[in-house]
Amino acid sequence: MTATLTIDLDAIATNWRTLDAQHPRMTAAVVKANAYGLGATQIVPKLAAAGCRHFFTAQLEEAVKIRPLIPGAMLAVLNGLYPHDPIEFTAHNIIPVLGSLPDIAAWRVEAARLGRPLPAILHFDTGMSRLGLSARDAPELDTSGLTLEFIMTHLVSADSPNDPRNAAQATAFRAISRHFPKTRTSLANSSGIFLGKLTHSTLARPGAALYGINPTPHLPNPMRSTVRLTAPILQVQHLNPGDTAGYNGTWTAQRPSRIAVLGIGYADGVHRALSNQATAVFDGTPVPLVGRVSMDLTTFDITDTNAQQGDRIELLGPRHGPDELAREAGTNGYEILTALGNRYQRHYIGA
């Protein structure tokens, strides 16, 4: 493993505090998909130390893995109860986010079997058409035997402040919450925190912004950079004008060129869509990615630098973060982070 992924836990903790300060009530942390690819085992205790008391994963297995790290905190699974046995949740004090009538029924059966109320979060769908109960279910929902910790919904377009769906969903959620007058609410994701009062609730559920992704894409990024990805130059190639680089020769040297070969490729999350599109950095100088990204190797034009074998080129860093790389790849920062592979030497700052 020659490439190095440096993850700044202090910056992630700072980002949580920034979000918590921005949201009037409580702020959770969404740590699904191994904390957006950056390492739940390292990040979760750091967030707990910063004051976070509520954590969400997508899957039960992810929650079971981090449960011992945060014994006193609320830990909930967004994807719900099905198809697990309820005992897999109760055994670890993990709360299912219940988003269907069968999920509620199964959780109530388990509460009756145990003879004690079980904590639950109800998820209502207000426009995503993914997981969640219908608003029509709200008036006559039987949740006896359950202790409702929160009711929640998820915003469709929180990163687009002018999208009328934000207000529509907030209004729909408010109407649903009238059927649960004593239950606390959870609404905003990262971007929702920045939409103002409309989308504030008892508990915000940010994920992306914790890891440095810009929650306000139309404005400068208020979050701190959290990842740096560098790889050493394995070999320098000298090309003559007319020579090509990589599979299918999609890049042709227009001048005598020096090409740096790095030992990372699409198997490491350097998306193939970045072929001839990305810009990395050497010593402050932008170096374009040239030719096709291959599975384990990528080539960069370093003609305008004095970079040599062994020097490190930076693919992700404070000046060129996941959002910028995502733009070049035609995707979003979420996919960039969660696609980062297992072949990096991972360093944690502030562990």
Q: For ligand PLP, which residue of 96, 207, 322, 333 counts as binding (CB under 6 A)?
A: 207
Pick the piece of the chain touching ligand PLP (CB under 6 A) from 18-26, 84-92, 205-213, 336-344: 205-213
Interaction of residue 208 with ligand PLP, rule CB under 6 A: yes
Residues contacting ligand PLP: total by CB under 6 A: 11
Task: List the Cα angle 191/197/202 in 5-degree steps.
Answer: 80
Regarding 74 and contact with ligand PLP (CB under 6 A), the answer is no
Amino acid at 181: P
Q: Does 63 engage in binding with ligand PLP (CB under 6 A)? A: no
**What is the residue type of 336?**
I
Is residue 189 within the footprint of ligand PLP (CB under 6 A)? yes
Where does this chain touch ligand PLP (CB under 6 A) — which range of 201-209, 250-258, 306-314, 340-348? 201-209
Taking CB under 6 A as the rule, does residue 206 contact ligand PLP? Answer: yes
Closer residue to ligand PLP, CB minimum distance, 211 or 300: 211
Q: Does 157 bind ligand PLP (CB under 6 A)?
A: no
Closest CB 80 distance from ligand PLP, rounded Å: 11
Quick one: which H or E segment has residue 287?
strand 285-288
- DSSP track, 200-214: --SEE---GGGGT--
Measured CA distances, 320 to 278, 290, 327, 347 (Å): 10, 17, 11, 19
Q: Which is nearer to ligand PLP, 46 or 154 (CB)?
A: 154
Give 254-270 as a 3 state SS string. Answer: CCCEEEEEECCCHHHCC
Asked if residue 269 binds ligand PLP (CB under 6 A), the reply is no
Distance of alpha carbon 58 from alpha carbon 205, whole angstroms: 12
Q: Which stretch binds ligand PLP (CB under 6 A): 160-168, 206-214, 260-268, 318-326?
A: 206-214
Q: Residue from 23, 46, 54, 154 that binds ligand PLP (CB under 6 A)?
A: 154
Q: In the numeric block, which tokens belong to residue 133?
A: 């109960």
Q: Does 326 bind ligand PLP (CB under 6 A)?
A: no
Contact 11, 46 (CB under 8 A): no
Q: Does 96 bind ligand PLP (CB under 6 A)?
A: no
- By CB under 6 A, which span of 163-171, 204-212, 229-237, 238-246 interacts with ligand PLP? 204-212
Nearest alpha-carbon partner for 30 in 64, 91, 92, 75:
75
Query: What are the CA-CA distances from residue 269 to residues 169, 278, 279, 320, 351 (Å)?
Result: 34, 13, 15, 16, 24
Per CB under 6 A, contacts with ligand PLP among 6-35 are 30, 32
46 catalytic residue (yes or no): no
Residue 90 Cβ, how far from ligand PLP at the closest point, in Å? 22
The reply to whether 32 belongs to the active site is yes
By beta-carbon proximity to ligand PLP, the closer residue of 76 and 262 is 76
| DSSP designation for 190 | H
User: Please, are residues 300 and 314 in contact by the beta-carbon 8 Å criterion?
Assistant: no
DSSP structural state of residue 25: S
Chain centroid to CA 310: 32
Least Å from the CB of residue 254 to ligand PLP: 41
Report how far residue 86's alpha carbon sits from residue 83's, in angstroms, rounded to the nearest whole number: 9
Kindly tell me which residue out of 18, 27, 185, 190 binds ligand PLP, with binding defined by CB under 6 A. Answer: 190
| CB closer to ligand PLP out of 99 and 265 | 99
Q: Which amino acid is at 229?
A: L
Calpha distance 17→183 (Å, rounded): 25
Q: Which two tokens stand for residue 106?
A: 């199964």
Residues catalogued as catalytic:
32, 247
- Tell me which residues touch ligand PLP (CB under 6 A): 30, 32, 78, 154, 189-190, 205-209
